Amino acid sequence: MGKLHNHAGKIRFRLLMVLLLAISPVTFGQSQYTFSGTVTESGTNVPISGASVFIQGTSFGTITDFDGNYNFTANLETGSYNLMISSLGYTTQNINVDLGSSLTIENSVALVEDLLSLDEVVVTGNPVGVNKRTLGNAISSVKSEDLVNNGAIAVDQAISGKISGALVQQNSGDPAGGISIRLRGPSTVLGNSDPLYIVDGIIISNSSNSNDLVDLGGTSQNRLVDLNPNDIERIEIIKGAAAAAIYGSRASNGVVQIFTKKGKTGAPKFNFSTNVRINELRKEIDYNTVPLAWVDPFDRTNLETVAVDRFNYQDDFFESGFGIENFLSVTGGNDRTSYYISGSFLDNEGIIKNTDFQRVGFKTNITQKAWDWLEISAGLNYTRSVSNDVPNGGINAAYGAITGFVFSDNSVNPNPDESGVYPVTSLLVPRTNPLEAVDRFDFGQKVNRFITSIGLNAKITDKLRANYLLGLDFYNQSATAFIPINNTSPNGDGFARRADINNFQYNSDLNLIYQTPINEDIESTTTLGGSWQYEEFDRVAIEADGLVPIVQVANEGSILDQGETRSQISYWGSFLQQSFSYKNKLYLNGAVRLDGASTFGEDERNQVYAKTSLSYVISEEDFWKNTFGDTFNTFKLRGSWGQAGNLTALTAFQRFTRLSPFSINGTPSLIPAGNGIIGQAPEQGDLNLAPERQEEFEFGFDAGLLNNRLGIEFTYYKQNVTDLLLERELAPSTGFGTRIENVGDLENEGIEILVRGAPIKTNDFSWDVTATFSQNENVVTSVAGGGQFALAGSFATSFVIEDEPLGVFFRQFYARDADGSISLDADGYPFRGTTDDGQASKVIGDPNPDWFGSLINEFAYKNFRLRIQLDAVQGFDVFNWNRRLLDNVIFGGGFNVGQELLGNRPKGFGGAQAGIFEEFVEDGSFVKLRELALSYDFKSPIEGIENIQLSLVGRNLISWDDYSGWDPEINTAGQSNGVRGFDFAGVPIPRTYQLGVNVSF
């Protein structure tokens, strides 16, 4: 019995010792402290829910509740600690906390709005998110709330005016009219200057296929219209080569990274929105209303007239269009699985009669935490769009509504006779009666598109992570055209065309990321990555005239053209990126990339690109705080240098001398393409073609003033592009006409300024203002042999000229007297001029703007919200081809022809001007009321409903400009890189009114 009692005592003693050892760190070295407080917004005192509150260097912390309160406990030793409070959209605040005998620590914090988003986590070319303050190059972000409720149907429309350095131009007012985005100017001549578009890591196509499908006159859709802005969480835009070098030869024009919405942990949350819109013509252009016509319009001396009726053809093809859009999404999940699912429907009518665009979309993102160390994500976006089109734009197609209008004599009644036959309105050249074009022509497109991906995110160790992504983008685009027989177009015996495109591409990317502290002050991040990309493009087409009545398919007519093209391009690359952080205030980044593409010669296809950048948050230094801290709360200096490439100037097999089948004495043979087949000399290949190379440096600063109520972002950059690919003329003795060679250079130089302010922040009222200013000077610094050449598709008007900006207008000009006035002959008609060296043409205009910018004011009063956005593009020229025809007496529909009939101008004056192109170069400078949005929120109006928002939106409501046409924001050449500023029968951008309801539950 005594032994048992002694044994039990030993057991109790040992248990007591284990317990003492277990609690000894708390008892003798640590204490349990309780942290609590409230996080609010500075100025308004509105609670911030979801704010992160953590003790830096530990795992202790929490997030704030709905009322902004936080409360957590932590077992810590006594001493000094840093309490870090952060929330998206606000400046991170650090509070020094001394832990001693008091076990309760209370801190209430007011976070200041992060106007410059320096604490925002961004993605810069690999899956590692980095704090924006670490970057030495400028990067712009657009949030989801800025992409919706603005009257735009596409992503590229929605970002207009919201990013410094990004010139967003809508080329056409068609229901799904194409958009051109230029980041820091054009960087190539023969290729395109569109940025690289990436959706959730998937490299996607933004092609504009007007030349490969059915010619609508120059403008067409670009495929970014397949994305619904409602599905997007944010957009990040990388403009500099230092950042773009990570993507190699596909990113010399910059990178637009689009991140779609993901699932969130919690019960399912639904969002439903519906809106209706009206699209209308903003203004009509002046036309001939004089009820007279010349008996003989060709004889200047015969002033005899006859009475006629005049018709406003604009009323025959323009009308108000109506639209509706519905969107439903649901998001939710648990600690293992999260999901986002959405569906949408859009039906948008154009301002040209019988035109519309319909889009049906389905989007889903799913994230699954397979194990604690592995996360799997998958996404799918399906879109089907259908458009009814009317051809417009006179660059290539001679048919179309507005094309017919500018060639027509509006003294002809355009309405059909009793038998349904439409009269000819263009009396001198074969063009279409515009009313017949909208009533009888049947053009359209259909697109089915899949964008999908699967990704793996693995945490191999605490310091090593791996990411893999496989992304696919496939679409089929089918277009048809039908012009019935017995019509007024040049295709009087009918016309039918069918063309189909299959476009497939994928990217496969693997990245390894190693993060480790070197010592207490320095942290290192190393990223090693590799990628393989492939794209495939197939087209088939058939075209015919000589149709029989009723039949609309091309194979039943006389075949004019049929063909098939195929293209395959592969890209590959690997990169190494190294970053160092010193005391969270000095950051150094560097990277090198080996990049290859199959479009170039074997000895030139692999290229190396490098980048480096430095960022210094100087306001973290004590000397700055003591000297400038009261004025400049935040000040960051940054600089970067980088290289990138460009391969868009070449098609898949353009390095080869291409051959075409030909019959010689009845024997099948091959000859160089173009030789006698399409009336042009053949192009010689060059197996030594290399990518165009871009080198850019930039420096700037980010500053926060007045307790970070005012933010300024400034950037200067200079970009040099060498080895520019240009067409070089060859001696006739070679047997070839041209050869593409690396024989040119160009440069872009400019500044970008972004200013954000929060002048007023109170409980009931707030006022936020954002202003941007961008200036870019582009010049072609070298052309082979010091020469010049006209760009295709410009009627030999847009030129590449050494020491001039890309695409300047180079044509005939007025002869002028010594005082600068236009020289006139004895009868009062103008002369053409000649230069000092006897040339008949000179530079008469420049479509590149001197500067562009925006001003956005946002007001909030209780539950009311008001947004006003003004966009400005200044100092650019538009070539008004419409007026060149309308003002010519031989056509007769323009306002100035009426002035000739009234005797206010000499008869035939417009005809004399037609050959002097300077007359039709007009200042296109404009300021537009781009967006006006008013909304009201009903917060928790009934049980189960979180919010109901009513909104009224106007888009493109007013344009302040001196342009005589419909709208100076136009480019009939569509997404063309060099041919800009062309207004030739293009559809003007409509004014839009939208009424919407958004419900969250």
Owner of token pair 């400078």: 925
Give 596's strand partners: 572, 606
**Residue 413 · residue 425 · CB < 8 Å:** no
Residue 82: phi, psi to the nearest 5? -115, 115
Structure token digits, residue 994: 């939208």
The backbone region for 220, taken as left when phi is positive above 0, alpha when psi lies in -120 to 50, beta otherwise, is beta
**Percentage of the chain exceeding pLDDT 70:** 94
User: How far apart (Å, rounded) are the C-alpha atoms in residues 583 and 459?
Assistant: 25
In the prediction, which pLDDT does 33 show? 92
Average pLDDT score over residue span 909-914: 94
**Residues 352-411 pLDDT 10s:** 999 999 999 999 999 999 998 999 999 999 999 999 999 887 777 788 899 999 999 999
pLDDT at 17: 43
pLDDT beyond 80 at 218 = no
Distance of alpha carbon 673 from alpha carbon 521, whole angstroms: 64
Spacing of C-alpha 91 from chain mean position? 28
Q: 876-901 pLDDT, tens per residue?
A: 999 999 999 999 999 989 999 999 99
pTM of the model: 0.89
The ranges assigned to domains in the chain are 25-111
Q: Torsion angle, CA of 964/966/972/974, rounded to 10 degrees? A: 130
Alpha helices in 709-790 (DSSP H): none
Average model confidence (pLDDT) across the chain? 89
Percent pLDDT > 90 in the chain is: 58
Cβ–Cβ < 8 Å for 484, 432:
no
> Cβ distance 125 to 149 under 8 Å?
no
Positive or negative torsion for Cα 618, 623, 628, 629: positive
Residue 678 clears pLDDT 80, i.e. is over it: no
CB 852 within 8 A of CB 776: no
Higher pLDDT, 735 or 861: 861
Does the CA dihedral 545-548-552-554 come out positive or negative? negative
Give CATH superfamily name and number for 25-111: Immunoglobulins (2.60.40.10)
d(CA 796, CA 72): 73
Distance of CA 196 to the CA centre of its chain: 9
Mean pLDDT of 979-998: 95
Which residue has 């081809």 as its token pair?
Answer: 881
Question: Residue 26 pLDDT > 70, yes or no?
Answer: no
* Distance, CA of 176 to CA of 468 (rounded, Å): 35
Contacts of 244 (CB under 8 A, 6+ apart): 125, 196, 238, 251, 252, 254, 255, 642, 644
pLDDT above 50 for 477: yes
C-beta of residue 155 within 8 angstroms of C-beta of residue 147 = yes
Any idea how long the chain is? 1001
pLDDT at 551 over 90: no
pLDDT digits (tens, 9 = 90+) for 481-539: 999 999 999 888 999 999 999 999 999 999 999 999 999 899 999 999 999 999 999 99
pLDDT band at 680 (very low <50, low <70, confident <90, very high): low
More confident residue, 342 or 97: 342
Query: Is the pLDDT assigned to residue 29 strictly greater than 70?
Result: no
Predicted local distance difference test score (pLDDT) of residue 714: 96
Instruction: Tell me what pLDDT residue 244 has.
Output: 64
Q: What is the mean pLDDT of residues 134-145?
A: 86
**Would you report the helix, strand and coil content of the chain in percent, each value rounded to 5?**
10, 50, 40
670, pLDDT greater than 60:
yes
CB atoms within 10 A of CB 190: 21
What average pLDDT score do residues 180-205 get? 89
**Max Cα distance, the chain (Å):** 143
pLDDT exceeds cutoff 50 at 4: no
- Which of residues 683 and 298 earns the better pLDDT score? 298
Count of beta carbons in the 10 Å neighbourhood of residue 942? 8
Those residues whose C-beta lies under 8 Å from the C-beta of residue 283, and which sit 6 or more positions away, are 966
Assess whether pLDDT exceeds 80 at residue 631: yes
Average pLDDT over residues 410-435: 94
